[in-house]
Structure 1
Amino acid sequence: ILMVKKEFLSNLKDRHAAVTDGVFAIAMTILVLEIAVPTMVDISSGVALNKYLINYLAPSILIYFVSFYLVYNFWENTIILFNIKKMNYLILTLNMITMATVCLIPFATGFLFKFYNYTNVNIFFSLLILIISLLYILMFILLIRENFKGYFEKKDEIKTAMYNSFDDGIEFPNLKLYIRGVTLTVFYLLLAPVFTSLISLVLAFVSPLASILSFVLTLILVFIIRMKRFGKDNLGDIDLTDEEKEFVGNIKQSIYGEYAVNCYSC
């Protein structure tokens, strides 16, 4: 029965991954369709066309690229999280809730296209990105708990042993894996859009344009995190089980690509 359940969950995870990719593909495509093309009735002169280009099209294209990158960033986060081996029904259900909120991004983006200079619209967009970002962090925490139950079940025992026998050379691979290396990098990557959406919320009351542009910080932060954390993600000096090594390899590959796998033992 246990084997059947594991196989069913594995198949369900694969189907969820397929549906998730489909949701992101559609959401990323719909974003550009939200940019309204003017009619001949709307544009009756060169002056009207210039006004359309400056007041609507230019801000809309900027907002489109910002939104497109945010959706792409969430898709990347999903790839990383789906590379974590063990999942349960709660995590998969939470993923579907996250996809439902991701589907709201094209609407929120279209809302920004027309009313980008309104504070309330920027607040709505920033709150939506914040909610999605927090949902990813919640999924990450649940995935860590699911994959490293041993640490949480013996948390008090581990803490006591660390304080009382710090110099005895006691090794706790799961504890080290939880607080070091790739799991910490994943957390930082997931935290980047949370940080930028909070900044965007504050800036919405000062400057709507600055509120939108603040999301460019997500791109910058993700790049810096990847560059800074790569060397620190080398856990070759830690005694890991084969399952933990597979976990580390999968996550590193999803963060850094094939190069990370080839340099795993560097």
Structure 2
Amino acid sequence: MAKNDFINLVSDRHSAITDGVFAIAMTILVLEIAVPTITDISSGVALNDYFINYLAPSILIYFISFYLVYNFWENTIILFNFKKVSYGILLLNMFSMAAVCLIPFATGFLFKFYKYTIVNVFFSLLILIISLLYIIIFVLLLRNNFKDYFDKKEEIKTAIKDYSDGIELPNLKLRLKGVTLTLFYILLAPVISSLISLVLAFISPIASMLSFLLILILVFIIRMRRSRKDDHDDVDLTDDEKEFIDNIKKSIYGKVRD
């Protein structure tokens, strides 16, 4: 077996175990919500207190955490569309999965102590670390797959102003740059949101948690504003480049226009 074939096999197996890790993490989240025993709830007043001070905030935190894990899983699907994946990238993905597995624990911590600043800081830092790992993986994937992207920075700066006209650079397709730029913005959304959450943790723990909903808003805006720029069909592409772009666009927008 050739080295590249072996790496592709490892990458495929790595993709499969990554899906499994995310599936388990998303399932465990709901198990972190504790159900009170009959001895804990001895009256209607106690039940109301449990619902207001624990259950309602816990359900809100659960949905936010579930979306965060789903968002990271969605980003992983997009990143695995790159063909050249090195062992270093797979190692970084392993660290990101290990961090994702901590999200259920951090979420359970929030269920009980969401009013405390330090707990919100811990959760925000965890999401920030995972988000930054995805950014690093993304940059390394670009370097492995599109080296010319980094070799002709000045040429890119000159031509990018005319990107909307479909100008093509030697060994560098501007449409390729466009769709990867969209992907970068999507990966940047949780970084921005977690930084805002980190600051708000010292002001309002509830606002700190709610700030993660900003990811949903940012990703929606990015997809809407970038969809036209990623829909140029007048640039000549190789079969491999067209397959890559179509896969990325399917991951980002859900479908590719004919």
Fold conserved between structures, TM > 0.5? yes
The counterpart of 2:84, out of the listed 76, 83, 86, is 86
Unaligned 5+ segments in structure 2 are 160-166
The counterpart of 2:192, out of the listed 181, 190, 195, is 195
Alpha-carbon distance, 1:108 to partner: 0.3
Separation in 2, partners of 1:159, 1:219? 31
Separation in 1, partners of 2:172, 2:246? 15
The counterpart of 1:118, out of the listed 107, 116, 121, is 116
Separation in 1, partners of 2:38, 2:44? 12
- 1:55 paired to 2:18: no
After TM superposition, the structure 1 = structure 2 runs for residues 226-237 of structure 1, keeping only pairs within 5 Å, are 226-237=223-234
Q: Equivalent residue for 1:146?
A: 144
Separation in 1, partners of 2:98, 2:173? 34
Unaligned 5+ segments in structure 1 are 163-168
Deviations 1:31-64 (A, max 9, x none): 0000000011111111111100000000000000
Contact 2:182 2:226 in 1 (8 A): yes
The counterpart of 2:131, out of the listed 110, 130, 133, is 133
Separation in 2, partners of 1:251, 1:27? 25
Separation in 2, partners of 1:159, 1:18? 36
Q: Which runs of 4+ in 1 moved over 4 A?
A: 156-162
Separation in 1, partners of 2:128, 2:76? 16
- Over the matched positions of the two proteins, sequence identity in percent amounts to 71
SS at match of 1:215: helix
The counterpart of 1:102, out of the listed 85, 100, 116, is 100
TM-score by length of structure 2 reads 0.92
Alpha-carbon distance, 1:187 to partner: 0.3
TM-score by length of structure 1 reads 0.89
After TM superposition, the structure 1 = structure 2 runs for residues 66-81 of structure 1, keeping only pairs within 5 Å, are 66-81=64-79
Alpha-carbon distance, 1:240 to partner: 2.2
Contact 2:148 2:171 in 1 (8 A): no
Alpha-carbon distance, 1:159 to partner: 6.8
Q: How many residues align?
A: 251
The counterpart of 1:223, out of the listed 192, 205, 220, is 220
